[in-house]
Structures are given as C-alpha cells and as structure tokens.
Structure 1
Amino acid sequence: MPVLTIYEQFKNTSEAAVSAIKSIAECCIKSGSVKRLIYTASVCAASPLKDDGSGYKDSIDETCWTPLNLSLASSNGFFKASCTFYYLKTIYEITIAKNSDYTVSKTLAEKEVLGYGSSEKDGGMKVVTLACGIVGGDTVLSYTPGSVAAFISQVTHNARSYRSVKYAEELLGKLPIVHINDVCEAHIFCMEKPSISGRFLIASAFVSAAQLAGCYQLHYPEFNVKAEKLDGAKGDIKWGSTKLIEKGFEYKCDLKMIIDDSIRCARRTGDLQH
C-alpha cells in the first residue's frame, strides 16, 4: 500500500486539509444515518486581528476569522502538528512545518465544513465546529502531547515549543487555554444536545504568556521560570465567547487545574525531572 506525502498529492497543506474534510462530510451525508457532524477545530482560525493589520478587535468570539493575508513575525516558526489518514486504500501522511501553514489549513478547513448542513442536499445533517484553545492536562499516552509541551514550555525551557506559544499570543492577543477533560466533555455535550449546530470556541482561561509565567512562578517556584518570561505584553483583549455556556455547558477545570495536570503529565513522561 503506497504512503504518499501531501507534496505528491496536493499543492499545499491547506488543499490537503480541505480535501480531507470534504471527503468526511460527503461520506456522512451519503450514509444517510449521520445526524450531526462534530469537527474538532482550532482557535487559531478565530484570530481577533483586524483585516488591515492595524491591531486587534476588542474581543475574540465566534464571529472572528483569522485574516489569511497578514504576515506575523513568528509565522515561519515550526508548529508540530502531524496526522495520518486512510482514504481510498492510500495512506496520506501530513506534517505541517510552519505556523502560517497550520493556521491557514485550520481556517479554510473549518469554513469548508461549516458550509455543510445548511441545505436539503445535506440530508438534514447538522454541523458543529469546536475551535479548541491550547489543550493542557494529563494524557493516557506514553509521551507529552505537542499542545501540552507548548503549554508547559516556560518551565521545560523548550525553545521550539515556546515559539508556538508566542505565535499563538501574537495571533490571538492572549492564550486561550482548555483542559483535555473539558474538550472531551464539550464534544459529548454537543452529541447529546438536541438541535445544536454552528461554531463554538472552547477555552476556560484566556491569559497572556507573561501571566501564565507568573502562575508557574507562584505555584511551581522550583522550576525557576526565567525573569524575561514575566515581562511580556499583558494585552487587553477580552474573551467574548459565551455561546456554548449559554447552551448549558459548564467548564470543570480552571487554569490552576490545567497547570497541575500538565505538570503531572510531563513528570510522568520524563519531560520534567522535579
């Protein structure tokens, strides 16, 4: 069975991502039995940056879409995100090497899937997208997931992972953070809630990288977070997403719990020795 890279099958990662979600959505419609398609998206697609690059909007919510024509200082950094999917007896392996590639792919893919579920030809299927912030918490995996590695990069001093954090802050104004347990519960909630559809942003905390470093310094002083990590811009953008909460969803994990479980994860996997 051939293993094909995206460079052999698609012009870029965005084309591959859009092609994949179209295939999934069309298979769901063709089945005739799928009533709701829930797509795990990324809050990187919901930047509050203004289209002209002049600054940020006052708040970030479901109406925000990342402008794709802007170049950010950290756009060319490496965002570790990879996936393998099986389609038509072929294995496709995708590795996204740049922050900008990841962001464009996630934005176009989410817009594509939201185009389904709005007409009779979609067979009554509803579509939900859950745009998740930086996911922290523990894991059943034997290694530290990339999102958790980014979240704790200020204490592990992992420069590559920390560049992803700074990119997210530059893109979003602050860092939307959510526990993996709340991510799972949000998916279950949307499965069980009758008639729910549309776009929802998922995060229980919205802090700057400097504020996050302050939390590590306060609760885990043994890691000696570097002083320069405390001097970043604090930002005044507000978290304006309340749609899922208005539907009845409740976040169970606050920032301290996300930090504690992420530290526990990294200690168990050997990324933190203390």
Structure 2
Amino acid sequence: MEDDSKYSTAPAYCVTGATGYVGSWLVKSLLRRGCKVHAAVRDPAKSLRLLSTWNGGERLKLFRASLQDDGSYDEAVKGCDGVFHVAAPMQFDVHESTDECVHSNIIDPAVRGTVNLLKSCLKSKSVRRVVFTSSVSTITAKDSAGNWRDVVDESCHTPIDHVWKTKTSGWVYVLLKLLTEEAAFQFAREKGIHIVSVVSTTVGGPFLTSPVPSSIRVLLSPVTDEVDMFRILSAVNSRMGSVGVVHIEDVCNAHIFLMERAEAEGRYICCAESCPMSKMIRNLAKNYPQSNITRLADQENESVPAEISSKKLRDLGFSYKHGAEDIIRETVTACLDFGFLPPLAT
C-alpha cells in the first residue's frame, strides 16, 4: 500500500466534473503532484474505470454531488484548500425550443448550480480560492463595429445579446459559459470568495474518458465529417479568425498554476497557439491523410486576423509545453488507439 504519511501536509483540492475530459486529467495531474483530491461526480459507479488511471491511493476520495442539489457539495469541499470548478453541461444547440425554455431548462439550472457550489465553499471555511473553467466561447475577436481586433485579450467579451440574436452553432454552450462565469464572479465579489477563471481554448491531446470528448470531436471534425461538430469549429473560426488550441496537459497545468499563484486575479486566456484553419487542416492531413481534407485546406485563408493572446498568463510566469503540431498529432494518435478513427492504410 502507498505510504501517505509524507503527504499529510499536502494541499487538498476538490475537482467538480471529475469524470469529464479536463476534470479527469486534472485529478490525475494533482495526484501526480502529491496533492489530496476530492473528486466530485454525479455517479461514482461511472468513475470506476477512471480509478485505475488516477491511481491515487488514500489521497483520492470520491464524492457524489450534483450542481442542482442545494448543499450536495458541502462534504466534497469540506477541508479543501481550493476548488476547481470544471463541471459544466455540454449542451451546444437546442432545436425547436423557445428562448424562455432555454433559460428555464438549461441556463438557469446551470447558474443556480454554480452558486450552490460557491455556497458550499463559503460553508467550508477552508476554501481559499476557486478556479473556474471558462471557455474561449466567451471571447470574440471582433469589436462592436464587427471589425477584427489585432489582439484578443480577456476583456473581449462576446456580447450576450448578440448570442441570443444570431444563435450560431454552439450558441447554448456560449450562453452557459458567459452567464455561469458572470454569476460566479458576482457571487464571489459579494461574499468575499477569491475566484479566478481559465478561459480555455479548444483542448486536444490524449484523454482518459469514454466516450471521446466533445472538444476532440470538434478538432477532428474535418476528418470525421461530423456535420454538427464541424459547424461548431467553423463558428469558432468565424468568431475568432482562427482556432485557438491548447494541450490537455497545459490547460490542467494552467489551472494548478493559477490556484497556487497568490497574485492571480480575474480571467486568464489559456491558448498555446492561434491556429489558422488552413494550418490546422494541413496538420490533420499530415497525421491522418485524406484527400478531402487537403481540398478543405485549399479553401481556407492563410491570414490570422487576430492573435488570441495568452500574455496575461505568460506574464505571470506560465509556459506551455505543447504547440499546435503536438496537439494535433497526439489527438490523432489517441483517437486511433481508442478506435474512434479507422486505422490508417499501410
């Protein structure tokens, strides 16, 4: 059995959404660093396959919790130094539904759930910081006049009214992220909770989960011809002028870095590289050759109208291990190993 006596003074962290792509890898990363982890999940039985990959011994505890149940996170966050709020509904679009239904059935429960978690953090008396997982969907590279910005930073919010009006692919997820992050920061300001957020770009690389994570399906949609996923990728490219990408290892390291860095404040874009669609498709074609992908690359503009800037995070001292080529290569390899992509012809 693992000797945990040397970890008696190690920090303890709660991870919500621990069975998701980022959440599961974050649990693994924290355990590798010697931390104690409270993994909060809706159904512990569905976490059994992950237990062998986490390999946490006595430092890992599972807690059943749901964002929709008041107080259900009380035990999960008790005694923790910090909380990583990764859990979020992966709802992209709603067809044939009124705006009122979207609000009442999807958005309002997600906002209430985030506030419920923060209330549990207040009760704990031990949680000193919450790191919220946000998304590049909350950011736009276009200004109010519709012109491209030269540099996109944390202040370039996607206007909520524009999302409601246009309802481009993935619009429900955009609203979820915008409104839950806004509610989290407002509650934190009112109650004196220290919160920072990681504005993650599209995440790729290996994964621990089954099924294949949505972000990977979006990245690989030019290969797989998943129409809905490709629409989301195209919507991201249309809003940002490129596809910002980050490796799963780097985005988890950024979460931990911001948890531990005392001077961290506000929002931080986590983007290893702003990748033009043409470059991304050529990387896909290189690692998973298909003639139709090369044709797609030829249709894309080479220019990058805006840099998705991670300057604020880099200036704090964070550095990335993986660029776009690494991310695409490891994403394809992971999906070949998993059987999501058909084997390449030899």
- When the two structures are superposed, what TM-score results if normalisation uses the length of structure 1? 0.81
Q: Which residue matches 1:70? A: 162
Q: Which residue matches 2:149? A: 57
| Partner residue of 2:175 out of 104, 126, 129 | 104
* 1:18 and 2:111 matched: yes
**Which amino acid in 1 is paired with 2:115?**
K
Residues 175-234 of structure 1: per-residue CA shift (max 9 Å, x gap)? 1100111111111112222242210011101112222112223x2362331413431233
Closer/same/farther in 2, CA of residues 243 and 71 from structure 1, 3 Å limit:
closer
* 1:114 and 2:206 matched: no
Are the equivalent residues in 2 in contact too, given 1:154–1:229 (CA < 8 A)? Answer: no
Are the equivalent residues in 1 in contact too, given 2:275–2:324 (CA < 8 A)? Answer: no
**Which amino acid in 2 is paired with 1:131?**
V
| Partner residue of 2:321 out of 245, 252, 257 | 252
Q: CA shift at 1:141, angstroms?
A: 2.0
Closer/same/farther in 2, CA of residues 72 and 231 from structure 1, 3 Å limit:
farther
| Partner residue of 1:29 out of 112, 122, 128 | 122
Q: Which residue matches 1:146? A: 214
Aligned residues: 246
Closer/same/farther in 2, CA of residues 30 and 51 from structure 1, 3 Å limit:
farther
* 1:216 and 2:309 matched: no
Query: Matches of residues 1-274 of structure 1 in structure 2 within 5 Å?
Result: 11-52=104-145, 54-70=146-162, 75-77=167-169, 99-118=170-189, 121-122=191-192, 125-217=193-285, 219-220=286-287, 222-224=289-291, 225-233=293-301, 234-273=303-342, 274=344
Closer/same/farther in 2, CA of residues 163 and 220 from structure 1, 3 Å limit:
same
**Which amino acid in 2 is paired with 1:50?**
D
Closer/same/farther in 2, CA of residues 198 and 139 from structure 1, 3 Å limit:
same
Residues 31-52 of structure 1: per-residue CA shift (max 9 Å, x gap)? 2111000111111001122234
Closer/same/farther in 2, CA of residues 142 and 22 from structure 1, 3 Å limit:
closer
Closer/same/farther in 2, CA of residues 163 and 10 from structure 1, 3 Å limit:
closer
Structure possessing the higher radius of gyration over alpha carbons:
2
Identity of aligned residues (%): 24
**Which amino acid in 1 is paired with 2:157?**
W
Q: CA shift at 1:261, angstroms?
A: 1.0
Are the equivalent residues in 1 in contact too, given 2:136–2:269 (CA < 8 A)? Answer: yes
Mapped partners of 2:259, 2:228: distance in 1: 36
Higher helix share: 2
SS of 1:165's partner is helix
**Which amino acid in 2 is paired with 1:201?**
I
Are the equivalent residues in 2 in contact too, given 1:177–1:206 (CA < 8 A)? Answer: yes
Residues 217-266 of structure 1: per-residue CA shift (max 9 Å, x gap)? 3x236233141343123341122331111111111111111011100111
Closer/same/farther in 2, CA of residues 227 and 9 from structure 1, 3 Å limit:
closer
SS of 1:115's partner is helix
Mapped partners of 2:129, 2:167: distance in 1: 34
Give the aligned CA root-mean-square deviation in angstroms.
2.7
Q: CA shift at 1:128, angstroms?
A: 0.8
Closer/same/farther in 2, CA of residues 74 and 160 from structure 1, 3 Å limit:
farther
Q: CA shift at 1:56, angstroms?
A: 2.8
Are the equivalent residues in 2 in contact too, given 1:50–1:67 (CA < 8 A)? Answer: no
**Which amino acid in 2 is paired with 1:62?**
E
**Which amino acid in 2 is paired with 1:246?**
D
- When the two structures are superposed, what TM-score results if normalisation uses the length of structure 2? 0.65
Residues 126-149 of structure 1: per-residue CA shift (max 9 Å, x gap)? 101001111100112233211011
**Which amino acid in 2 is paired with 1:137?**
G
Gaps of 5+ in 1: 78-98
Closer/same/farther in 2, CA of residues 114 and 230 from structure 1, 3 Å limit:
farther
Q: Which residue matches 1:82? A: none
Closer/same/farther in 2, CA of residues 164 and 265 from structure 1, 3 Å limit:
same
Higher RCO (CA < 8 A, seq sep 6+): 1
Mapped partners of 1:266, 1:153: distance in 2: 12
Are the equivalent residues in 2 in contact too, given 1:74–1:167 (CA < 8 A)? Answer: no
Q: CA shift at 1:24, angstroms?
A: 1.3
Gaps of 5+ in 2: 1-67, 70-88, 92-99
